[in-house]
Amino acid sequence: MPVPSTTQQTVVPEERTERAPGSRPDWQRRSRRRLLADRITVGTLVAYVAGLLLLLVLVPTVAMLFEPDGEAWSRLAEPRVATAAKNTVVIGVASTLSATVVGFLFAYALSRPDIRGRAVLRVMALLPLISPPFVVGLAVLLLFGRRGLITHELLGLDISLLGLGGLWLVQTLAFFPMATLTLLPTLKNIGSTLEWASRDLGWTWFQTFRRVTLPLAFPTILNALLLVGMFVITDFGNPVLIGAGYQVLSVEAYVQAVGRQDFGMAAVLCVLLFVPTLILFLIQRRVLARRSAVTVSGKTGSLPPAPLPAAVRRGLLTVLGLVSVLMILIYGSILVGSFTRAWGADWSLTLNHWQTALLRGDDIRNSALFSATAAIITTISTLVAAYVVHRTRVFGRGMMDGLAVLPSAIPGTMIGISWLLTFNEPPIALTGTALILVLVMVVRAIPVGYRTAVTTINQISPSIDEAATDLGASRARVIVQIMFPLLGGAFTTSLVFGFLHAINTLSAVIFLTSPGIGLGAPTIVNLAEFGQWGAATGVAAGLMVVSFAGLAVAKLALGSRLRLYDL
Amino acid sequence: MIELKSLCKSFDGVPAVRDLDLVVGRGEFLCLLGASGCGKSTTLRMIAGFIQPDSGSVLIDGVDVSGYGPDARPTSMVFQDYAIFPHLTVAENIEFGLKAQKLAKDERARRTEEALDLVGLTGLGGRRPNELSGGQQQRVAVARSLAIRPSVLLMDEPLSNLDAKTRIQLRTQLREIQRDTGTTIVYVTHDQEEALALGDRIAVMKDGSLEQLGSGHEIYLAPSNGYVADFVGITNWLAGEYAGGSDESWEVNVAGAVLRATPASTSSSVSPGSPVDVSVRPEDVSLSEEDAPGAGVLRGVVRDVQFLGPVVRTYVETGGSVVLVHSAQSGWSPGANVRLSIGEGAARAFRRVEGAWRPPEAAARPVVAVAAS
Ligand SMILES: Nc1ncnc2c1ncn2[C@@H]1O[C@H](COP(=O)(O)OP(=O)(O)O)[C@@H](O)[C@H]1O
Ligand SMILES: [Mg+2]
């Protein structure tokens, strides 16, 4: 229809010329104002996130690299450094392998509906995730130590499990849940159809496991190995408690820093530990990136997984049953220990340790209070960071993304020592304050909080905030009225995660507590080192009660919306 | 050959398959047809050995395979979501089952080539599954199953994840493959058109039981009950009352007019006045001018005419209900007054039984006959 189009062509330019320059239409002026407001909003958020990450993550790390002088670096050649490095590698490799194997068995059992007692297995895998890892070490000290209940009292032996063997057992038990947590979604997702297809094509259960299940789970197994490896080689609590003479890098660094006040040497050891951790971390990021490209296609449908052969099921249940018994012994001994007058000498019951723990409850109270504060700061900061990185186009997003996940590659010992060095004197003198403890907890909790936040933000379709913007909402309004309400459940979940990470952290805070302001976790280790096991278990039990109480409150408030650990 | 003998299976006390008896002949293409949730997959999985029946037995080539796992049965399943192993190439996928049979390497290679040729994927053996389209993946699945030369090929809605064009293309290919290889196939589908196109015979299931077993012709032209008539193809329902007639032909009172209809079952319990539902396929109705000589007994008004290419759909309102008419051409336009006539022997009558399936209410409202007005 040529007639209307010609009239339109003549009308439009006329309208334009009619308008006097300067008197812009209303909507244009409004949109200019909003553009400015949006810039201010985004600018503020970026400044906050960048400032936080630079100050708390980048500055201390870089500062520490410049601490050691040439002489300190030259001491890398000392035999005790080589021994510590070798020990770290040995225990790291051994416990990473065993923890991943045990974790795989748990995940495999949890992914099979024909395994009974999965509820019990789930609790066993959950306990080490929500309590401090060093509690396992403390318990092994009580059970298998020189005056241990099992080694000394029951078996009358004079030997102990301290050293490499005990540490291996402890790290396996303390860190297998990390592997379980990583592997379970994949094992569930591999899908019954593919396994059925293999059975249908003539292979037995075992061959199906070898030819289908294992190869498909392989990238995730690799991921679990790397993750567990990072935790094991940087762990501090367990080696310091039961390593005995078996010195690893994190403990050696602690000894140099706290025992000998030799910060140069401590920094050198930290860097030595940081390098392999960082490498594992970088490999893990690549593995994760590649895995997302090769997702498993077999959907589960209504076809239930193939039942396990009876012998396999029995074998699996026997192994997992044994592990579960050990776990019950471990957490039970902490509980019993906290009511026992003097472990190994006087087995009468007492409430003294609980009284002490409560009377000297400052440490536990500080732990609870600081962790809660840190959790709130972490949750808000990581949500803002995730928003800035994934929903804006500002410069330096990649850098911020990297800095937000980097702390998971920094050994806790290194964070502790680097903070001690960086924040000890002006311009930022924080040591001895409560603030430094809260902030270091924030740093420890940031990576996991950030990952949760990114997942959540990415679940909110960009078209939702585009729609809101399109309807005339400013950035600030989109954030407050669209993002916040949609993030509700994830916000609480992230809070609980942050809280648990903060309250259970040991290696970073042990350098930063001061006589006036103590925390539960370092107190437990100090008490245990002096053989005050009753008091140590009392504080440990108290700390766990606080964690569980926090968890229970969140569970009550959120019910099934609290998706904490999907086991 | 497969024999299912009084097969039963319940999940949590809810029966999924009830007392199913079925014989599938060698080289036969049998379609299990039924609405979603009627127990088709469960039946297939019991044949494959994924699920053990609560009672009853499965015989394959005369051997009772109860207690055999899927790896020990001469069956092979093609899944709805293909279940191609994502970590193996196309050729490795096909070889997967051949390795389990411990065949020599060159024999495996030969059979893999053969299977690829059969499904028209020659030369794609080196591809990764994620480099293939859905249709190609499903052909790999078929090749993988055929390569092990199963006694029975089991297929569970294998085409339902594909687009319409590919679906029809693969249907034809599947028929050819079946004819060339002589494989026995049990094919599950909820799509009646697919069942008619593929099956030598069709077993219509409902709520875990067999409703009717027969060729596509039988099922479509002589459904044994109202459910089958309604589920397979499209039909018009007219509600009426039994008025008399022989075992071969009933007279049914449809709102005053008398229609002749073939009874689906000879029933002695039917008596004048018993409620009866009459089913008439749209293509068996023809329309004529209102006062043409020898026109049908029902009178109606054309409401809508839809041109679909090969067929024209005419919706005719007769009293309270709408009758759908299929014809090659239609000169009618909305508003025209017409008479409907029903082809000789095309109407089928089903005695209404308490508690049994009934046609949907709206469709079964009595139409107003010419005689009544
Ligand atoms: N593994 C199972 N557990 C519980 N109920 C099932 C299971 N498999 C099938 N069912 C139930 O059995 C009935 C028949 O299912 P199915 O055989 O899959 O139907 P169809 O394949 O005909 O759609 C349905 O009601 C379904 O919910
Ligand atoms: Mg089905």
pLDDT tens-place string over residues A264-280: 888 999 999 999 999 99
The closest-lying atom of ligand 1 relative to the alpha carbon of residue B188 is: 21
Q: What is the DSSP letter of A517?
A: B
Say which residue the tokens 């049908």 belong to. B296
pLDDT at A2: 40
pLDDT at A12: 43
A193, A202, A301 ranked by CB distance to B71: nearest? A202
With CA atoms as reference, the chain A residue closest to B86 would be A296
Mention every residue, 6+ apart, whose C-beta is less than 8 A from residue B327: B283, B286, B287, B311, B312, B314
Say which residue the tokens 């309102």 belong to. B317
pTM of the entire predicted model? 0.86
Query: Strands B75-78 and B152-156: what pairing?
Result: parallel
B16 CB under 6 A from ligand 1?
A: yes
Say which range, A284-293, B77-86, B123-132, B329-338, has the weakest mean pLDDT: A284-293
Do residues A109 and A480 touch, judged by C-beta distance below 8 A?
A: no
What is d(CA A171, CA A134) in angstroms, rounded to the nearest whole number?
9
Residues 74-103 of B with CB under 8 A from A: 75-77, 79-87, 96-97, 100-101
> Is pLDDT above 50 for A3?
no
> Is pLDDT above 90 for A260?
no
Instruction: Render pLDDT for A135-191 as a digit per residue (tens, 0 to 9).
Output: 999 898 888 877 777 777 777 777 777 888 889 999 999 999 999 999 998 898 887
Instruction: Render pLDDT for B40-62 as a digit per residue (tens, 0 to 9).
Output: 999 999 999 999 999 999 999 99
For residue A190, the CA-to-ligand 2 centroid distance in Å is: 20
Mean pLDDT across B361-367 = 50
Q: Whose CA is nearest to atom 20 of ligand 1?
A: B37
pLDDT at B295: 64
% of chain B surpassing 90 pLDDT: 68
CA distances A203 to A207, A209, B96, Å, are: 6, 9, 9
Residue B32 host element (H or E): strand B29-33
The closest-lying atom of ligand 1 relative to the alpha carbon of residue B42 is: 17
Q: What is the DSSP letter of B321?
A: E
Residue B348 host element (H or E): strand B348-351
What is d(CA B238, CA B137) in angstroms, rounded to the nearest whole number?
46
Query: Strands B275-280 and B348-351: what pairing?
Result: antiparallel
Cβ distance of B83 and A196 shorter than 8 Å: yes
B70, B86, B100 ranked by CB distance to A196: nearest? B70
The closest-lying atom of ligand 1 relative to the alpha carbon of residue B205 is: 22
A297 CB under 6 A from ligand 1?
A: no
pLDDT at B268: 66
B38 CB under 6 A from ligand 1?
A: yes
CA distances B264 to B232, B239, B250, B279, B346, Å, are: 15, 15, 10, 10, 12
At B161, the amino acid letter reads N
- Supply A434's token pair: 């409560």
For residue B190, the CA-to-ligand 2 centroid distance in Å is: 8
- Supply A451's token pair: 């990952």
CA distance B145 to chain A (A): 7
DSSP for B166-211, written as a single string: HHHHHHHHHHHHHHHH--EEEEEES-HHHHHHH-SEEEEEETTEEE
Instruction: Render pLDDT for A10-60 as a digit per residue (tens, 0 to 9).
Output: 444 444 444 555 667 777 777 777 788 888 888 889 999 999 999 889 989
C-beta neighbour count of A318 within 10 angstroms = 10
Task: Specify the length of chain A in residues.
Answer: 567
pLDDT band at B294 (very low <50, low <70, confident <90, very high): low
pLDDT band at B155 (very low <50, low <70, confident <90, very high): very high
Say which range, A279-293, B60-74, B236-250, has the weakest mean pLDDT: A279-293
A113 CB under 6 A from ligand 1?
A: no
Q: For residue A427, is the peptide bond before it cis, meaning its omega torsion is within 30 degrees of 0?
A: yes
Instruction: Render pLDDT for B162-208 as a digit per residue (tens, 0 to 9).
Output: 899 999 999 999 999 999 999 999 999 999 999 999 999 999 999 99
CA distance B178 to chain A (A): 19
Is B36 touching A (CB cutoff 8 A)?
no
With CA atoms as reference, the chain A residue closest to B94 would be A201
A203, A215, A216 ranked by CB distance to B100: nearest? A203
- Of A401, A402, A438, A404, nearest in space to A419 by CA: A438
Most confident of A27-36, A480-489, B144-153, B258-267: B144-153
pLDDT at A488: 75
What is d(CA A235, CA A246) in angstroms, rounded to the nearest whole number?
14
Cβ distance of A297 and B130 shorter than 8 Å: yes
pLDDT band at A284 (very low <50, low <70, confident <90, very high): confident
Interhelix angle A164-189/A310-337, nearest 10 degrees:
130
Phi, psi of A313 (to 5 degrees): -60, -45
pLDDT at A147: 74
Say which range, A18-27, A401-410, B113-122, has the weakest mean pLDDT: A18-27
Instruction: Render pLDDT for B210-240 as a digit per residue (tens, 0 to 9).
Output: 999 999 999 999 999 999 999 999 999 988 8
Interface predicted TM-score (ipTM) = 0.86
B34 CB under 6 A from ligand 1?
A: yes
Instruction: Render pLDDT for B315-336 as a digit per residue (tens, 0 to 9).
Output: 998 866 789 999 988 788 899 9
Phi, psi of A471 (to 5 degrees): -80, 5
| Average per-residue pLDDT for chain A | 84
What is d(CA A480, CA A37) in angstroms, rounded to the nearest whole number?
14
Do residues B154 and B78 touch, judged by C-beta distance below 8 A?
A: yes
pLDDT at A314: 95
The closest-lying atom of ligand 1 relative to the alpha carbon of residue B36 is: 23
> Is pLDDT above 80 for B145?
yes
Instruction: Render pLDDT for A504-531 as a digit per residue (tens, 0 to 9).
Output: 989 888 988 888 888 888 888 888 888 8
What is d(CA A251, CA A81) in angstroms, rounded to the nearest whole number?
11
> Is pLDDT above 80 for A231?
yes
CA distances A24 to A21, A34, B84, Å, are: 7, 15, 62
Do residues B222 and B204 touch, judged by C-beta distance below 8 A?
A: no
pLDDT band at B289 (very low <50, low <70, confident <90, very high): confident
- Supply A134's token pair: 């060093």
Instruction: Render pLDDT for A316-330 as a digit per residue (tens, 0 to 9).
Output: 999 999 999 999 999
- Of A184, A90, A92, A91, nearest in space to A129 by CA: A184
User: B85, B102, B130: which to substitute to probe chain A, counting the most A Cβ within 10 Å?
Assistant: B85
CA distances A303 to B11, B41, B257, Å, are: 12, 9, 52
Q: Whose CA is nearest to atom 16 of ligand 1?
A: B39
pLDDT at A243: 83
What is d(CA A129, CA B127) in angstroms, rounded to the nearest whole number?
42
What is d(CA B137, CA B142) in angstroms, rounded to the nearest whole number?
9
For residue B39, the CA-to-ligand 2 centroid distance in Å is: 7
CA distance B50 to chain A (A): 7
Mention every residue, 6+ apart, whose C-beta is less than 8 A from residue B39: B9, B16, B17, B18, B20, B205, B207, B208
